[in-house]
Amino acid sequence: MTFIDSHSHLYLEEFSADLPQVIERAKLAGVSRVLLPNIDSSTIKDMLRVADAYPGYCYPMIGVHPTSIKESFEEELQRVEDELSSGRSYIAIGEIGLDLYWDKTFLKEQLIAFDKQIQLALKYHLPVAIHSRDAFDELYAALLPYKDTELKGVFHSFTGSEAEVLKLLAFEGFMLGINGVVTFKNSTLWQVLSAVPLTRLLLETDAPYLTPVPYRGKRNESAYLRYTLHKLSEVYQKSIEEVARATTENTVRVFGEGVSKV
């Protein structure tokens, strides 16, 4: 039984001391692939270093995280364009989106950057990994013009309401990324998932963040994806093998056949 971690930042400093061991534990846990979303121009080098060290296991994305969108956002977007035209293989545009949790100062710039990166995804026929925090209405409005296009991807780290689920599921080419939050004792996400068919879910860790129970409060890593898998098995009352198979198929459907090879 294998499954895919569709969103993990294994290139960050938190893994600099023991990445080989982290990768080995992930493989032993059943993680057959790890997808690496980029943050901004400062993380590209480290992300590609990890992807090159583990070819066929770690797959890089390219994009600018909304919290990295500041006055110089056009320079950041240019770097994304440069990478896409370089001939380097990227599996998606990500992670991109809107984040109004910390600061609303650059909402206008975030919206411009989000739209431009969606256009790049369409130009290069790549899926998108979308981050949204305290910005659902703004994000939904920004995405609506693309509803009937070939755009596809994942709403990463989904923790929204049932009403939001119904709006997002209308984007037929998109999945919801579920991580350790679903295991938290105070989380109601498992109830919201009653409105979501298993065919629309992806597994993710968002490592080193959002560590699932029983390791909540410690550094997250891809091996811990199995706890999210087991929780979804309980929620959907299906075997862990069935959930693993379904979410793997969903990941391949979004990101392409390249991630299906074992």
Cα angle at 110 between 104 and 111, to 5 degrees? 110
Nearest Cα neighbor of 24 from 44, 12, 10, 45 is 10
Q: Which fold has domain 3-259?
A: TIM Barrel (3.20.20)
Query: Distance between CA 65 and CA 165 in Å, rounded?
Result: 22
Q: What is the pLDDT of residues 146-180, one digit of tens each?
A: 999 999 999 999 999 999 999 999 999 999 999 99
Measured CA to CA, the distance from residue 134 to residue 49 in angstroms comes to 32
DSSP string of 181-219, one letter each residue = GGG-TT--HHHHGGGS-GGGEEE---BTSSPPTTSTTS-
Beta bridge partners of 246: none
C-beta atoms surrounding 152 within 10 Å: 19
Write down the pLDDT at residue 259: 79
Give how far Cα 46 sits from Cα of 23, 40, 49, 53, 163, Å: 16, 11, 5, 11, 38
Tokens of 70: 């500041």
Residue-wise pLDDT for 119-140, tens only, equals 999 999 999 999 999 999 999 9
Is pLDDT at 101 greater than 70 in this prediction?
yes
- Residue 257 confidence (pLDDT) above 80: no
pLDDT for 59-79, tens place per residue? 999 999 999 999 989 999 999
Position 261 confidence tier, pLDDT thresholds 50, 70, 90? low
3-state SS, residue 56: coil
Q: Map out the domains of the chain as residue ranges.
A: 3-259
Q: What is the pLDDT of residues 177-236, one digit of tens each?
A: 999 999 999 999 999 999 999 999 999 999 999 999 999 999 999 999 999 999 999 999
CA neighbours closer than 13 Å in the CB half-sphere of residue 58: 24
- The model's pTM is 0.97
Q: Does residue 77 contact residue 64 with C-beta atoms inside 8 Å?
A: yes
Question: What value does the mean pLDDT take over residues 2-21?
Answer: 98
Q: What is the pLDDT of residue 85?
A: 97
